[in-house]
């Protein structure tokens, strides 16, 4: 992190938008950006009403915003349906037979769905949901590979007003079980399996494990709908499980979109916070749709004939907002790919771009750093001249990776937009607008319309230029989270209490003399590993659930490839001997409880964890130890931190 700040301070390259790009862009100059930004802050209601009128409302709102901090309502009295805006709205004009989704599976199979076809599939599947007693307001878990049917399932839920909660396909049975229990989901949509690096991920088996026994989850889910993707053998539980393709035989393609109140819940997406339990971030209908519509339109500056590719999995918020809802709300062609970037070889992405003529690429710094490591020859083998815009999301991008992305992938001609946002914010918050805002490698640049971002010190006072502090947002915005599902107190405490009535992002940042934001990263107990959010306490509770573990503390350490790596300090119950095999077992244990992404990169056994006199684990000290010279892989001797703790004094 510190390294990041320093390289930022020496970073002074500025790339103005290419004139041809600016000439055709929706926002084509800094003056235009500033004029609209000013309006969006001074008169947000006028700005957002104008944007909202580009969407299809079933009933017009009578008030734009009701703000009783920290609870916001947008477009009160208005009725709208997200699926109607993403589909039906595009059927009357020339987009009817335009590709909505172009998809490639990892084995190389392909599918294209036009707006008309996608509309029909969503209507049919919405009827399948109804047939299986899924009604407006019901919660539905979606646990699927990145296939068009995942988007169809999401849109079908939105069409009938059911609330989806997508669980990333890399998460384990335990994670599914927790999310079902917390959301009270009554139905679950999954697939027999998905492909990853040539192997089949046994999705249905994980679902079966999650629903085994007499847990709250098992009692909650009445129906499991299974899409056949891989054709592997699976168990079908009579009376509970049905096949997607069989169900389609009973329905037709007519399903009117349900007119929903603007504040009707659209989805719950679980994300890691600083406690052991993931938070169910709740997004609602009208404001969220407006936020992702408006950001997709201005940030990616879509042209009617663009092919746009966001490489995120639908299990993360980026997949929700910028694979499915944002591009479809804009009537764009969204490209989806199921598998790994290095399968079968490290040029899969570049092959796809060349084959389909992708124009806009939106990916993560972790992927970019992996591409750098795999070597330029993989990129150079392919004609990437169709690309005209590049985007980055999920973690801070180091200036070197930014430059490589711009030069090697973008051929030096494509603007690069570094977009900062979060599951909670729903839509992009800080970003360059490609035709207007000059880019500095490593900076997310300036706030999007309506975003009143600031950097403050511990007292909540805005800090001067180039001083570090906490990133906050001072005004409500349309796509903001509405609450933590079922826990409004935690919502208030977590985000709105440190600086009353202002949104705490959990990120540290600074603003330079031009007002540009430089995001340093999380300053709470959340790690960002390869662009995936993980709570240290979530991993700790997984570790202590192992019968031989007494105590665990998890910290992050800088990692060249993944941004951060997970280091676990573990003390064992008395009489248990530390050994190499146990390290492996603990890593697997965490994988089983959360998912492979959470497995510690390093497990270190300690005699005792360093603690303050009041018994708090000295995390700052552990972070320093973790980032120091790493112990060799096979050391299993117990480390003794008590001396260090004494040396560094108490840390309250």
Which residues lie near ligand WTA (CB under 6 A)?
A: 271, 316-318, 393-396, 418-423, 444, 505-507, 519, 521-522, 528, 533
Minimum CB separation of residue 15 from ligand WTA in Å reads 17
Q: What is the signed CA dihedral for 221, 223, 228, 229, rounded to 10 degrees?
A: -30
Cα separation, 10 vs 525, in Å, equals 28
Minimum CB separation of residue 403 from ligand WTA in Å reads 16
What radius of gyration, in Å, describes the C-alpha atoms of the chain? 24
Task: Write phi, then psi, for 425 (nearest 5 degrees).
Answer: -85, -15
Closest CB to ligand WTA among residues 140, 597: 597
**Degrees to nearest 5, angle at CA 549 with 588 and 270:** 55
Q: How many Cβ atoms from other residues are within 10 Å of residue 375's Cβ?
A: 11
Q: What is the signed CA dihedral for 31, 37, 43, 49, rounded to 10 degrees?
A: 100
Closest CB to ligand WTA among residues 121, 313: 313
Cα separation, 389 vs 185, in Å, equals 39
Minimum CB separation of residue 176 from ligand WTA in Å reads 19
Residue nearest to ligand WTA (CB): 423
Closest CB to ligand WTA among residues 80, 444: 444
* DSSP β-bridge partners for residue 554: 568
Q: Which of 634, 563, 571 is nearest to 602 (CA)?
A: 634
Minimum CB separation of residue 599 from ligand WTA in Å reads 18
CB 365 within 8 A of CB 395: yes
Cα separation, 553 vs 625, in Å, equals 12
Q: Which of 522, 99, 631 is nearest to 331 (CA)?
A: 99
Tokens of 504: 């705490």
Q: Which of 474, 454, 511, 498 is nearest to 44 (CA)?
A: 474
Closest CB to ligand WTA among residues 61, 293: 293
Closest CB to ligand WTA among residues 183, 271: 271
Question: How many alpha carbons fall within 13 Å on the CB side of residue 239?
Answer: 0
Closest CB to ligand WTA among residues 181, 523: 523
Closest CB to ligand WTA among residues 430, 543: 430
Cα separation, 71 vs 79, in Å, equals 19
Render 579-610 in DSSP notation, one character per residue: -HHHHHHHHHHHHHHTBGGGS-SEEEEEEE--
Tokens of 380: 């150079």
CB 284 within 8 A of CB 481: no
Minimum CB separation of residue 533 from ligand WTA in Å reads 4
Q: Which of 472, 468, 470, 471 is nearest to 512 (CA)?
A: 468
Tokens of 607: 């005699």
Closest CB to ligand WTA among residues 211, 281: 281
Closest CB to ligand WTA among residues 230, 494: 494
Minimum CB separation of residue 536 from ligand WTA in Å reads 14
Closest CB to ligand WTA among residues 191, 393: 393
Minimum CB separation of residue 62 from ligand WTA in Å reads 33
Minimum CB separation of residue 321 from ligand WTA in Å reads 8
Minimum CB separation of residue 423 from ligand WTA in Å reads 3
Contacts of 305 (CB under 8 A, 6+ apart): none
Minimum CB separation of residue 136 from ligand WTA in Å reads 27
Minimum CB separation of residue 395 from ligand WTA in Å reads 5
Closest CB to ligand WTA among residues 119, 369: 369
């Amino acid at each position: 992190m510190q390294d990041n700040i320093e390289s930022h301070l020496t970073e002074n390259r500025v790339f103005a938008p290419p004139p041809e790009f600016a000439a055709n862009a929706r926002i084509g100059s800094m003056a235009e950006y500033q004029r609209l930004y000013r309006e969006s802050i001074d008169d947000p209601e006028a700005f957002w009403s104008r944007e909202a009128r580009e969407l299809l409302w079933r009933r017009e709102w009578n008030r734009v915003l009701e703000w009783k901090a920290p609870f916001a309502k947008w477009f009160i009295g208005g009725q709208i349906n997200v699926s109607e805006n993403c589909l039906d709205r595009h059927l009357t004009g020339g987009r009817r037979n335009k590709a909505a989704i172009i998809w490639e599976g990892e084995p190389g199979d392909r599918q294209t769905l036009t707006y008309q076809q996608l509309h029909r599939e969503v209507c049919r599947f919405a009827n399948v949901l109804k047939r299986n007693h899924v009604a407006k307001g019901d919660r539905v878990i979606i646990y699927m590979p990145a296939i068009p049917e995942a988007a169809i399932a999401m849109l079908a839920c939105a069409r009938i007003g059911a609330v989806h909660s997508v669980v990333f396909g890399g998460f384990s049975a335990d994670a599914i079980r927790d999310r079902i229990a917390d959301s009270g989901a009554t139905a679950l949509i999954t697939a027999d399996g998905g492909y990853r690096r040539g192997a089949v991920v046994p999705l249905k088996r994980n679902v079966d494990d999650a629903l085994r026994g007499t847990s709250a989850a098992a009692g909650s889910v009445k129906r499991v709908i299974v899409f056949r993707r891989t054709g592997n053998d699976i168990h079908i539980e009579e009376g509970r499980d049905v096949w997607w393709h069989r169900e389609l035989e009973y329905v037709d393609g007519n399903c009117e979109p349900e007119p929903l109140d603007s504040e009707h819940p659209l989805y719950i997406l679980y994300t890691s916070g600083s406690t052991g339990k993931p938070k169910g971030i709740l997004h609602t209908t009208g404001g969220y749709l407006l936020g992702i519509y408006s950001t997709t339109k201005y940030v990616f500056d879509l042209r009617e004939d663009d092919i746009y590719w966001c490489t995120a999995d639908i299990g993360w918020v980026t997949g929700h907002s910028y694979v499915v809802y944002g591009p479809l709300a804009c009537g764009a062609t969204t490209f989806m790919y199921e598998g790994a970037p290095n399968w079968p070889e490290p040029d899969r992405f570049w092959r796809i771009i060349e084959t389909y003529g992708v124009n806009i690429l939106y990916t993560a710094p972790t992927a970019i750093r992996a591409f750098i490591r795999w070597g330029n020859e993989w990129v150079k083998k392919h004609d990437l001249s169709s690309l005209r815009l590049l985007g980055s999301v999920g973690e801070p991008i180091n200036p070197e990776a930014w430059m490589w992305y711009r030069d090697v992938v973008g051929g030096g001609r494509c603007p690069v937009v570094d977009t900062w946002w979060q599951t909670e914010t729903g839509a992009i918050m800080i970003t360059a607008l490609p035709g207007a805002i000059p880019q500095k490698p490593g900076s997310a640049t300036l706030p999007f319309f309506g975003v009143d971002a600031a950097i403050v010190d511990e007292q909540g006072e805005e800090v001067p230029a180039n001083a570090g502090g906490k990133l906050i947002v001072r005004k409500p915005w349309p796509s903001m989270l509405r609450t933590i599902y079922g826990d409004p107190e935690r919502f208030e405490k977590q985000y709105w209490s440190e600086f009353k009535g202002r949104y705490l992002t959990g990120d540290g940042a600074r603003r330079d003399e031009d007002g540009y934001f430089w995001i340093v990263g999380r300053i709470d107990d959340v790690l960002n590993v390869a662009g995936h959010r993980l709570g240290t306490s979530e991993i700790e509770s997984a570790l202590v659930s192992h019968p031989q573990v007494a105590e665990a503390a998890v910290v992050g350490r800088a990692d060249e490839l993944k941004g951060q790596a997970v280091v676990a300090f573990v003390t064992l119950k008395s009489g248990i001997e530390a050994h190499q095999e146990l390290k492996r077992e603990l890593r697997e244990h965490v994988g089983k409880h959360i998912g492979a992404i959470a497995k510690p990169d390093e497990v270190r056994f300690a005699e005792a964890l360093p603690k303050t006199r009041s018994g708090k684990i000295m995390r700052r000290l552990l972070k320093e130890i973790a980032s120091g010279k790493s112990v060799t892989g096979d050391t299993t001797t117990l480390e003794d931190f008590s001396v260090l703790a004494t040396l560094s004094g108490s840390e309250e």
